[in-house]
Structure 1
Amino acid sequence: MTELDWLATWTTLKLATVTTILLLVIGTPIAWGLSRWQSKWKVVAEALVALPLVLPPTVLGFYLLIAFSPQYLPGQLWQNVTGQQLAFSFSAIVIGSIFYSLPFVVQPLQKAFEQLDQVLLHKAAMLGANKIDQFRSVVFPLTKTSFITAATLGFAHTIGEFGVVLMIGGNIPDETRVLSIALFDHVEAFDYAQAHKLAAGLLMGSLLVLSAVYLLNFKEPRSFALSRSKLKNGGAIR
């Protein structure tokens, strides 16, 4: 790998880490609210959260690029506060990544929250636990696996971004140039040897991440688990 590729690797890992942390902070209350919301408008909110799953990345990137420009309020406010332009910065690709990877964090958490036994929360409330205590002592321990799954999927999805990052971040080394863009650069330059290395690394990394997620969520069929338990205990299987 070239020096620029190592810089792209560092930028990619930094982007994925920062995005995943922010997604957990932002996505957890969104998932909790959706899991408790009883309204016909809930489907609209769920559709908005899930929109990046079907929306072309370049469409999302295009509208974010407009919003981030100094001519519009979000970009103007950012420039007034920080003194720097938001578009084509690391902050821009973090914000874009949050939008693009949001459903990969919200949906696993929402499903886990919806499956919680409400009786446990009522009992915790009767014992004097406030909402934060209930979440810390009841909700999180019971949904810890879903939090790990959500964080893993959010991290992996961010690593694979291309269209959104290119639209709002460009191709600036050590700032917005990530591995997917580095791979594109090598292909454009007909440097297939380096392209193969990056592509193979991304392929194996994605496979390992998905395998870890499926292994984490793997549940043996009850009959098989019971049979194996009986065998271990020397019992007969009927």
Structure 2
Amino acid sequence: MPDTASSFLGLPPALWQSLWLTLRLATITTLVLGVVGLPLAQWLNATRSRVGTVLETLVALPIVLPPTVIGFYLLVAFSPNHAPGSWWRDVTGGSLAFSFTGLVIASVFYSLPFAVQPFQAALRAVPRELLDAGTALGATPARVFIRLHAPLAWRGIAAGLTLGFAHTLGEFGVVLMIGGSIPGVTKVASIALYDDVQALAYPQAHAFAATLLVLSFFLLLAVTLLQRRRT
């Protein structure tokens, strides 16, 4: 990042590094949420089994659980002494905890309900008659979903993806437990801001907090506009 930009915003290169790492984490997490969350939302809407009820409850748990609880159990699971952390070590030779890959996995778990629930609402809002018409014309269920169902629900899907992205930007407890504060690897924006406050570097912390505030505002504004237009 050019020095002029750092000087203008009051952010040193180390904080730009943390901001870039956060945006990278949020982008990858959002892509995974789209690939995993959309089929999951469709299945949860369609199933009437008890397994679906239990799974839907598990997906929603991060909404009510303290982030440190999720972070603690993920940290235990990611350690080399437990699976899947031990499997990851055997395959890659590295640790899943305190790594960027571990942050991505933890972020997907933590942000899953913020994407899946809007996905479910958007998919349910599509009139059943339109989907039945596609099936009557001979399209397979997969083709109906890809060519008809998902495109008609695109505003809600976009809102879910935007919420997942915004939620990942604001993560603190989970990323602190899983990643710690390793510069360039796991030191994301919220951790860098916390470190500045702990060091009493308030002007620097204020500039960074304002940057995150503005970014979060515009992301939530986009979600609001998508939801209003869908309504």
Scaled by the length of structure 2, the TM-score of the pair is 0.91
Alpha carbon RMSD of aligned pairs, Å? 1.5
Correspondence 1:124 to 2:126:
no
CA distance in 2, matches of 1:41, 1:141: 28
**What SS does the corresponding residue of 1:73 show, helix, strand or coil?**
coil
**Equivalent residue for 1:227?**
none
Correspondence 1:98 to 2:105:
no
Structure 1 segments of 4 or more deviating over 3 A? 39-43
Q: How do 1:130-145 residues align onto structure 2 when only pairs under 5 Å count? A: 130-145=140-155
Shift of 1:220: 9.8
**Equivalent residue for 2:159?**
149
**Equivalent residue for 1:66?**
76
Structure 1 counterpart of 2:182, from 157, 166, 172: 172
After TM superposition, the structure 1 stretch with the greater mean CA deviation from structure 2, 109-118 or 93-102, is 109-118
Structure 2 counterpart of 1:34, from 44, 49, 66: 44
Q: How do 1:1-238 residues align onto structure 2 when only pairs under 5 Å count? A: 1-39=11-49, 42-219=52-229
CA distance in 2, matches of 1:39, 1:208: 39
Shift of 1:219: 4.6
Deviation string 1:72-104 (CA, Å, 9 cap, x unpaired) is 120010011111111100000000000000001
CA distance in 2, matches of 1:85, 1:44: 31
**What SS does the corresponding residue of 1:176 show, helix, strand or coil?**
coil
CA distance in 1, matches of 2:51, 2:96: 33
Report how many residues are paired.
221
The share of aligned pairs that are identical, in percent, is 52
Shift of 1:142: 0.6
CA distance in 2, matches of 1:8, 1:219: 34
Which AA in structure 2 matches 1:88? F
Tell me if the contact between 1:64 and 1:96 (Cα under 8 Å) persists in the aligned partners: yes
Tell me if the contact between 1:36 and 1:114 (Cα under 8 Å) persists in the aligned partners: no
**Equivalent residue for 1:228?**
none
Question: What residue ranges of structure 2 are gaps of 5+ in the alignment?
Answer: 1-10
Question: What residue ranges of structure 1 are gaps of 5+ in the alignment?
Answer: 222-238
Deviation string 1:114-133 (CA, Å, 9 cap, x unpaired) is 22222222221222211221
Shift of 1:40: 5.0
Shift of 1:213: 1.0
